[in-house]
Structures are given as structure tokens and as C-alpha cells.
Amino acid sequence: MAHTAQRPASRTQGRLADLAALGTRPGGRRHPLVAAVMVLPLAVLLAVVFGGAEAVITQASSVAGLLGL
């Protein structure tokens, strides 16, 4: 069996690891704002595709009417 020496991590791998850790806390949890930024584009897309945006607009309009706005 051949023994291969391990290479030291390159600078690029170090930078990628730094980017992957962006917004994470020492315990491994993400900051809530980072998590929101990650999930909001998908939530908007799903709302538009499945008609959820219209439901939100309708409900907001009803609430505004009740408040007299």
C-alpha cells in the first residue's frame, strides 16, 4: 500500500470555509437575520407560484378596511 502525504489546506479552501461560516455563531447556529435572508427568496417564489401573495394582499386589505385606513 502506498502512503500519501496530506497536503496543507490552500488559501482558497480557507477563504471558502470563512465564507461558509459567515453569520454563524460559535455554537454552530446562524444569526436569525442571516437565516431570514436565506429563506425569504424561496418563500416569495413559493408564494407567487402557489397564489399565496394574493391571499396575503386580500387579508391585508381586509385588515386595513377594519382599521379604517
Would you state the pLDDT for residue 62?
94
Would you state the pLDDT for residue 48?
85
Tens digit of pLDDT per residue, the chain (69 long)? 566 666 555 555 666 666 566 665 567 788 889 988 999 899 889 888 888 888 888 998 999 999 988
Q: According to DSSP H, which parts of 1-69 are helical?
A: 11-20, 32-49, 52-67
The distance of Cα 37 from the centroid of its chain, to the nearest Å, equals 4
Residue 24 in 3-state DSSP? Answer: strand
> What is the rounded distance in angstroms from the CA atom of residue 45 to the CA atom of residue 57?
15
Q: Please report, for the chain, the start and end positions of each structural domain, with discontinuous segments joined by +.
A: 31-69
Would you state the pLDDT for residue 25?
56
Q: Which three cell numbers stand for residue 48?
A: 407567487
Residue 5 — left, alpha, or beta (φ > 0 → left; ψ -120 to 50 → alpha)? beta
pTM above 0.85, yes or no: no
